[in-house]
Amino acid sequence: MNWTKKASCAAAGFLLLALPAHSQTGSSSDNLNRYEAMVVWSIHQGNQTEIAMANLAKDQSASKNVKDFADRIIQDHRSAEAQVQAYARSHKINLGELARQLADMSREQIELERRARTVGSATGEYAWTWEPAIKSADEDRTQMGKLRKLEGPDFDRQFARAMVNDHQMMIDQLTDARARTTDSDLRSLIDKVLPTFRQHLSMAQKLQLVVSKA
- One pLDDT digit (tens) per residue for the chain, 214 residues: 433 333 323 332 323 233 343 333 344 444 457 788 889 998 999 999 999 999 999 999 999 999 999 999 999 999 999 999 999 999 999 998 888 877 776 555 555 655 555 544 444 444 445 555 555 555 656 777 888 888 899 999 999 999 999 999 899 989 998 998 889 999 999 999 999 999 999 999 999 999 998 7
Domain boundaries, the chain: 9-212
Task: Write down the pLDDT at residue 129.
Answer: 53
As to burial, measured by CB atoms within 10 angstroms (0-12 exposed, 13-18 middle, 19+ buried), residue 109 is middle
Which residue from 72, 73, 70 is spatially nearest to 62, judged by alpha carbons? 70
Supply the pTM of this predicted model.
0.73
Q: Please report the DSSP string for 15-61 in residue order.
A: HHHHS--S-SS--HHHHHHHHHHHHHHHHHHHHHHHHHHHHHHHHH-
102 close to 48: Cβ distance less than 8 angstroms:
no
- Which of 1.10.760.10, 1.10.3720.10, 1.20.1260.10, 2.60.40.1180 is the CATH number of 9-212? 1.20.1260.10
Give dist(CA 54, CA 49) in Å, integer: 9
